[in-house]
Every structure is written in structure tokens, then in C-alpha cells.
């Protein structure tokens, strides 16, 4: 059986030492904003779009990519992480669907979540500090990357 793979983007948004996570009904877990990369998008563009749609907030992407003079190209923002997630695992152990996830960090100026129509209600969102994350039952990868995002954005607060 062939495994189908889709590109996705996730953005850990940070405000005042906390990152926003929402309860995803279908998955039954807490995750940051994110989703599939559309055919006409680059991964970082998809992540920024997902943040705007899901939270109504305007993210400022944390970028650590050096400028390179490339007459026929451009440097893309480097994700903090690239993750491969099994989405559909069959009883025999074969994987039917995977997400290749580009994980970015961004700052936002507010915690006032106001999703677009059709998105999950603002009540499903919560803001988590490092201590909140460490004390939670949230998946370990989300805890570790969330803590990393809070530290990374906090180190760049002057921007």
C-alpha cells in the first residue's frame, strides 16, 4: 500500500511568555494553529494564513535565515522543525497517510483570539506558559516545541 503524504505548516504563536493551543475535536488533542499547504502557497505562507484564519491574530514570523544573493531564486524562512506525523495507521501497522509538517515560531501582539467564520470557536483556545505546558497532559512533542517557541520569541522581544 502506498503512503499518501501532504505538506502541512504549524505556527507556535507566542505572546507575553505563553503560546496558544486549541483543542482539536477530531484528533482529541491540543495543538497550535496550522493546516495543509495549498497548491499555490509556500509552507510559511500557509502557516501564517492558518494563524490568521484560526485565531484572527497577525503573526510576525521568527526568521533565522541568512540572505543569499540568488538571481533566479529566493531564500525561504527556515522552519524551526520539520516533523513527520502518521495520520492514518491501519490495524496491520501500515501507514496510509502522513503529514510532513513545517513548524515555525511567531510573535503576536495580543491574546484576543477571534477566529474567522467557520473556524473553531475562540473558547477552544488557551494560552500556556512553560510551567503550564510542563504540568499538562499535552503530548510531549507539543510541550517541548511550545517551550522552545516561548524561549525563542522571548529572546527576540525587542522586535
Distance (Å, rounded) from C-alpha 119 to C-alpha 114? 10
Using the predicted structure, report yes or no on whether residue 118 has a pLDDT greater than 80: no
Domains of the chain and CATH, by start: 4-154 (3.90.79.10)
**Reported pTM:** 0.92
CA dihedral 18, 147, 53, 120 (to 10 degrees): -80
Question: Using 50, 70 and 90 to split pLDDT, how confident is the model at 158?
Answer: low
d(CA 50, CA 104): 12
pLDDT at 12 over 90: yes
Write a three-state SS string for the chain. CCCEEEEEEEEEEEECCEEEEEEECCCCEEECCEEECCCCCCHHHHHHHHHHHHHCCCCEECCCCCCCCCCCCCCCCCCCEEEEEEEEECCCCCEEEEEEEEEEEEECCCCCCCCCCCCCCHHHEEEECHHHHHCCCCCHHHHHHHHHHHHHHHCCCCC
| 39-50 pLDDT, tens digit each | 999 999 999 999
Amino acid at each position: 500500500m502506498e503512503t499518501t503524504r501532504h505538506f502541512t505548516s504549524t505556527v507556535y504563536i507566542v505572546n507575553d511568555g505563553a503560546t496558544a493551543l486549541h483543542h482539536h475535536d477530531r484528533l482529541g488533542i491540543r495543538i497550535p494553529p496550522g493546516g495543509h499547504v495549498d497548491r499555490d502557497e509556500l509552507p510559511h505562507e500557509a502557516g501564517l494564513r492558518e494563524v490568521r484564519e484560526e485565531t484572527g491574530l497577525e503573526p510576525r514570523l521568527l526568521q533565522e535565515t541568512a540572505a543569499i544573493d540568488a538571481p533566479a531564486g529566493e531564500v525561504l524562512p527556515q522552519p524551526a522543525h520539520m516533523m513527520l506525523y502518521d495520520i492514518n495507521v491501519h490495524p496491520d501497522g501500515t501507514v496510509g497517510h502522513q503529514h510532513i509538517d513545517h513548524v515555525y515560531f511567531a510573535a503576536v501582539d495580543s491574546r484576543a483570539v477571534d477566529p474567522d467564520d467557520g473556524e473553531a470557536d475562540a473558547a477552544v483556545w488557551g494560552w500556556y506558559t512553560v510551567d503550564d505546558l510542563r504540568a499538562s497532559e499535552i503530548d510531549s512533542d507539543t510541550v517541548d516545541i511550545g517551550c522552545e517557541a516561548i524561549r525563542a520569541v522571548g529572546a527576540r522581544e525587542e522586535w
